[in-house]
Structures are given as structure tokens and as C-alpha cells.
Amino acid sequence: MSITSKAYNFSWNDDRQFGLQRLAGVNNSWVQVCRSVPENFGVTEDMVNPFLEGLSLTRALSDRRIFLVNHAILQNVPTKEDCHLCAPMALFFEDNTGSLKPIAIQLFQDAADDNPVFLPSDPEYTWALAKMWFNNADSCMHLTIAHFGFAHALMEGIAVTTNRYVDLVV
């Protein structure tokens, strides 16, 4: 589907598209098979069972159909005053069509009353905002870790060193 197609313009908020972005996007290496739900992720079996196509959470975990993206590294990153950066976690389920669909998003690392778990059954705009905040953090991960960290900070040092010392060896 082309990004300029009308179908794409209306699918940006679709849960399958959100899952596809995890696999075909810039941070696909952060997706991992989830063997157990992290203790600080306030997800319960009752919360996510409606989205597991008849499976229990325990069964979906053992069948390796639950995936986790955890951006814990963003926790406590300093920001400007009145700016917020979340450190979200999200669970994804591989459905019977092979698509990866989000089933739970928690925007911060601590399970607490003021840090709810968002679900696809939440009001439409609440769920959309949870996905948007997750995408914002995902973009921060890409820009700071993958792009700046691995491309500039790491590789520029190697490039400078190579340029300085290759002439001495050759």
C-alpha cells in the first residue's frame, strides 16, 4: 500500500497498521517474544483475554504469540520543564492471520493507579492517544539510540580513528 493511497491515509489508526509499524518500522529489533508479563506491567489475564481469539494469556504466552516492546531505557531521561517523555511498554498478539496487533499499552514503567493500562476496548480516542504516545517514545528511541547513538556517536569515532591511522599503516 502506497503512503499516498487513500487506503493508507485512513489506516494509520488501525491496530494492524500499528503492529506492522513495529515490524517494518525503524525499531523492529526492540520487538521480543514475551515469555511472561513483566511485574511492573499492570496487565491481567482478564484485561487482554477478549483480544486473544479464544486463547488464554497463559496459552498465548506458551505458544509464543505474545510480543513485548519495552522502552524502559527512556525512564528518567531529563526533559525540558513542562515536557514529558514516557517510557512505555506494549504487548502485541500475533492473530490467526499472522498480523501483530496491540493488546495493551502502559505509558510509564511503574504499575500504579495513576498509570493505567490502555486497551483496544477503551474509548476510541483514548486508545488512539495511547498509541500516539507510544509512537512518540518509539521515535525518541530511534533518534537517540539507533540513529544518534549507533550512527553518529559510535561510528563517527571509528571513522575519525580510521582516517587518522590508516595512512600510518598503509
CATH of the domain at 146: 3.10.450.60
- Full domain range(s) for residue 48: 6-169
Tell me if 104 sits within 8 A of 117, measured CB to CB: yes
| 1 within some domain | no
Q: Tell me the CA distances in angstroms from 68 to 56, 94, 123, 127, 154, one per residue in order.
A: 17, 11, 23, 18, 27
Greatest Cα pair distance, the chain, in angstroms, is 66
pLDDT at 9 (0 to 100): 62
The candidate with the shortest Cα–Cα distance to 132, out of 47, 30, 24, 12, is: 12
| 75 within some domain | yes
| 117 within some domain | yes
Tell me if 57 sits within 8 A of 119, measured CB to CB: no
| 110 within some domain | yes
Task: Give the whole-angstrom CA distance, residue 19 versus residue 29.
Answer: 13
Task: Give the whole-angstrom CA distance, residue 102 versus residue 47.
Answer: 13
pLDDT at 143 (0 to 100): 74
Tell me if 18 sits within 8 A of 131, measured CB to CB: yes
| 46 within some domain | yes
pLDDT at 168 (0 to 100): 62
| 62 within some domain | yes
pLDDT at 19 (0 to 100): 95
The candidate with the shortest Cα–Cα distance to 93, out of 83, 103, 108, is: 103
pLDDT at 162 (0 to 100): 84
| 19 within some domain | yes
Number of domain units in the chain: 1
Tell me if 91 sits within 8 A of 66, measured CB to CB: yes
pLDDT beneath 70: ranges in the chain: 1-10, 147-150, 152-153, 167-170
Tell me if 85 sits within 8 A of 79, measured CB to CB: yes
pLDDT at 166 (0 to 100): 75
pLDDT at 160 (0 to 100): 80
pLDDT at 145 (0 to 100): 73
pLDDT at 6 (0 to 100): 65
Its pTM stands at: 0.84
Strand order in the sheet with 66-70: 32-33, 66-70, 89-94, 100-106, 117-118
| 113 within some domain | yes
SS3 105: strand
